[in-house]
Structure formats: C-alpha cells, structure tokens
Amino acid sequence: MIQKAVEHLKSVDSVLEWHMEKIGPVSVKARRVAVFQSLARAIIYQQLNSKAADTILSRFKALFGDGYFPSAERVLAVHPEQLRSAGLSRPKANYIRGIAERAASGSLPTLKECDKLTDAEIVQRLTEMKGVGRWTAEMFLIFNLGRLDVLPVHDLGVRRGFQIAYGKRKMPEPEQLERFGEKWRPYRTVAARYLWRSVDSL
C-alpha cells in the first residue's frame, strides 16, 4: 500500500517527488493502542514541542509507578492535582479525566468500532469531547489507526514543511493547503509525513 501511495504522489506532484527522493522511505505504521491512551497522549502533546511533551508524558506515566500508560480507571482513581504535578495544565488534566470517564463507562469507541467508521465519522465522534479538537482527532487517525488520506491542514509542522518544500515566503493558510492537497488524494497522510520530514531535514 505504501509503495502504491508513493507512486501516486510522485505521478501527480513533481516538487513533492523531488523531496520524496531526497528523504527516502517513511513509515505509516499504526500504533493501534487503546483509544483512551492515544487520545490522552495527544492531549499531552497539544501545543507543546516534542521535548517538553516527552518530559510531561514520562512524568505522567511515572505517577502510576510501573512505567506503563495507565488505564482510564487508574487515572480516575487519582486526584486531578496529582495529574497536574506531572506538568499538565488544569484544562489538560480535566480533559484527560473526561475522556477517562467516557472510556470507563464504555461510551468511548473501541479500536474495532473505529475500524468500521469513516474518517469523518470518527472526527465527529471524538470532537464531541472537551479537549479533543480536529487536530487531535486527525493525529488519532494518522498515528493510531494508520488512515492513509488525512491532511492536518492546521498542523504547524505540515504547513512549515509545505513552505520549505515548495520554496514559499510564508506558510500556507489552512484553506490554501486544503485546496492544494486535493491532488494527493487518496494518500494525503503520506504527503503529510513527507512534509513533516522536510522540517526535520533542515
């Protein structure tokens, strides 16, 4: 599937093709971890650089003593202030608890249920929860489910990667990137992966 995606993208976009040749293969392997874990992790990473988010994630897991990502039930068993001691803001701690409550009550979709839903249906279901916006839902689709046609046009890394790859003076607006990315269908996720790598290759 990834080879088919690469061939398609190269056939429709010569600029992207040049960068793909320069960067080499990218992985689109899905994590396939529990939905609660994936969403909670994404919330921790919201609006933070990777280094800061990695530190908070490590502290968050350390609260539970065994080094593993905690279950929803274990998160609900600790006081919100304990979550904040890991470096989470008060809103993020509340968002994670809210998702944990849904998971514990069985109202959070499972991975198997997600597999039967379209990208748009999953985004709609997830963004009904506080703290889960479109970006978080798209990260879930890309990294946890491995969906191949997701273009997170509001992601600063993707926009910056486009600016670099296409030699633009400024980052594209989300609407501009959305229109441009139509040519990459049905493999927009793979294009996004290469745009992220364009930033990393600086």
Cα–Cα dist 51/87, whole Å: 13
- 200 assigned to active site: no
SS (H, E, C) 84-116: HCCCCCHHHHHHHHHHHHHHHHCCCCCHHHHHC
Residues 158, 150: contact at Cβ < 8 Å?
no
In this structure, the number of other CB atoms found within 10 A of the CB of residue 134 comes to: 13
The one catalytic residue among 13, 119, 149, 155: 155
Write down how long the chain is: 202
In whole angstroms, give the CA distance from residue 49 to residue 156: 11
Asked if residues 129 and 40 have their Cβ atoms less than 8 Å apart, the reply is no
Measured CA to CA, the distance from residue 126 to residue 133 in angstroms comes to 8
Q: Catalogue the active-site residues.
A: 155
